[in-house]
């Protein structure tokens, strides 16, 4: 790719909610660590941003909470989060590696 095509591939084209397996970034894991129990991955909903060629290029740092200005918006946000549960789980370590490979 060159020039404009490369720039467009690096810009977020769309996003959606996805379930992401997160490693050792949970405060509960800190407590487990003090007890000598190895960290356990957790599943969380994140916003994941994609390039025009459908490759993940970024994601929200923190996991997402459902929100809305009214009950209907809140229900809609929850529905989008539930849709994420029907897609393959993304792994944070693999996402980080794919971003590094993409650069």
Q: Where are the domains of the chain?
A: 12-94
For 17-28, what is each residue's pLDDT tens digit?
Answer: 999 998 765 555
For 56-95, what is each residue's pLDDT tens digit?
Answer: 999 998 999 999 999 999 999 999 999 999 999 999 989 8
Spatial CB neighbours of 91, under 8 Å, sequence gap ≥ 6: 20, 21
Whole-prediction pTM: 0.74
Burial letters 27-46, b for 16+ CB under 10 A, else e: eebeeeeeeeeeeebbebbb
């Amino acid at each position: 790719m060159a020039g404009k095509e490369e720039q467009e591939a690096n810009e977020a084209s769309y996003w959606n909610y996805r379930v992401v397996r997160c490693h050792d970034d949970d405060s509960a894991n800190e407590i487990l660590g003090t007890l000598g129990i190895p960290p356990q991955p957790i599943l969380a909903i994140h916003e994941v941003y994609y390039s025009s060629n459908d490759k993940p290029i970024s994601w929200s740092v923190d996991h997402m909470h459902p929100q809305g200005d009214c009950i209907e918006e809140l229900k809609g946000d929850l529905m989008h989060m539930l849709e994420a549960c029907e897609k393959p789980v993304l792994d944070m370590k693999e996402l980080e590696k794919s971003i590094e490979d993409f650069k």
